[in-house]
Amino acid sequence: MLGIGTLAKKVFGTPNDRLVKSVRPLVQKINDLEPEFEALDDAGIKARTAELQQRARAGEDLDKLLPEAFANCREAARRALGLRAFDMQLVGGIFLHRGNIAEMKTGEGKTLV
């Protein structure tokens, strides 16, 4: 027999499950930008990095820059390290950006987070 707490977790998920779910739209935006950043040459990646830095210095909201910045970073890591950040690694990076702690299990890709 399930207790109320167990039943609630099954229906609504844990607080952490809800947090992860809340950033899924951001991860989707990053994924949607992936082809655009893949199409850039190395000079284009560097130029976008400089543009993003300038926009941040000019006071643009960092949360609005996040999808482009993460898509740019994902592509740079793929080229430099041969590693593509998976969605769960993006989630971890978003949590860290927001000042939260991101606990990841062995094998979930902490290297890129």
pLDDT tens-digit map of 70-82 = 999 999 999 999 9
Residue 91 has a pLDDT of 93
Q: What is the pLDDT of residues 54-102, one digit of tens each?
A: 999 999 999 999 999 999 999 999 999 999 999 999 999 999 999 988 7
Q: Domain of residue 93: give its range.
A: 14-97
In a domain, 111, yes or no: no
Residue 10 has a pLDDT of 63
In a domain, 4, yes or no: no
In a domain, 1, yes or no: no
In a domain, 104, yes or no: no
How many folded domains does the chain comprise?
1
Please report the DSSP string for the chain in residue order: ---HHHHHHHHH--HHHHHHHHTHHHHHHHHHHHHHHHTS-HHHHHHHHHHHHHHHHTT--HHHHHHHHHHHHHHHHHHHHS-PPPHHHHHHHHHHHTT------TTS-TTT-
Predicted TM-score of the model (pTM): 0.83
In a domain, 49, yes or no: yes
Looking at the chain, the whole-number percentage of residues with pLDDT higher than 70 is 86
In a domain, 2, yes or no: no
Residue 106 has a pLDDT of 76
**Is the per-residue pLDDT at 40 higher than 70?**
yes
In a domain, 30, yes or no: yes
In a domain, 43, yes or no: yes
Residues 43-51: what's their mean pLDDT?
A: 98
Residue 15 has a pLDDT of 77
